[in-house]
Amino acid sequence: MVCIPYLPYVVRSQRAFLRRAAQYVVETGVRQFVDLGSGLPTAGNVHEVVQKLDPEGRVVYVDSDPVVVSEGRAMIADSVNTAFVCADFLRPEAVLAAPELRALLDLDEPVAVFMIDVLHHISDSDNPAAVIAAYVDMMCPDSHVALSHLGQDEALIDGLAMFRRMYDTPPPTVHLRNSQQIADLLAGLDLVEPGIVPLPLWHHAPHADSDLDRKPDIFPGYAALGRKPAFP
């Protein structure tokens, strides 16, 4: 674990963004979600937010860690419109062809792809922009991509250096990106207001929900939501 004093705040804020973005997307009429690099469902997961608003909402979690997938499947066992796929999300065609996903989602209808707290683990050599573009290409207009991404933040860089000093070992590899690099990841999509912003500030009026958090000065990263236009 990276030794950053405010790590719990960072994790909680990302989960709060996930909930705000899922709520917003459902309210635009989208009922199908794919959560890439989902990790284990914790609290306020995509399927809980979506299915509270519409029990018919369908959610597919994707993770490459078999332990996460096995535990995750057990945790969602009671939810009929939810599935867990074990796959590498860097292979969009394989993910979108997975039988568990195809059983739940209709790719002729809009889909929201969530990539929360995962893209900074992906190096430029894996071409994350091309990966996202491949998902978008296979989805119809009004589909969405939500992402959170750690930024070029001084405190974060200090935290990583502190990890190296304390443990005498390299910290987990993260690929910090600035707001322009994050914009490049979402090329071709229309950015939903307020655009690419420090994550605690991503909200879409009138969703001033109770966990809306406004401390961008100590948040080391960004959030954004893009929508596929009808005529790219």
Which residues here bind ligand SAM, judged by CB under 6 A? 14, 18, 37-39, 62-65, 68, 88-90, 116-118, 121
First to last CA, the chain: 40
Angle formed at CA 88 by CA 43 and CA 28, multiple of 5 degrees: 50
Q: How far is the CB of 61 from ligand SAM (least distance, A)?
A: 9
Q: How far is the CB of 78 from ligand SAM (least distance, A)?
A: 21
List of residues 6+ apart from 152 with CB closer than 8 A: 176, 177, 178
Give the residue ranges of DSSP H helices in 28-153: 46-53, 66-75, 92-97, 99-104, 128-137
Specify the residue, 11 or 232, whose C-beta has the smaller distance to ligand SAM.
11
Quote the CA–CA distance of 93 and 90 in Å, as a whole number.
9
Q: How far is the CB of 173 from ligand SAM (least distance, A)?
A: 12
Cβ atoms of residues 41 and 76 within 8 Å: yes
Quote the CA–CA distance of 111 and 136 in Å, as a whole number.
9
Specify the residue, 18 or 60, whose C-beta has the smaller distance to ligand SAM.
18
Specify the residue, 45 or 143, whose C-beta has the smaller distance to ligand SAM.
45
Q: How far is the CB of 204 from ligand SAM (least distance, A)?
A: 19
Specify the residue, 98 or 140, whose C-beta has the smaller distance to ligand SAM.
98
Specify the residue, 86 or 140, whose C-beta has the smaller distance to ligand SAM.
86
Cβ atoms of residues 115 and 39 within 8 Å: no
Q: How far is the CB of 14 from ligand SAM (least distance, A)?
A: 5
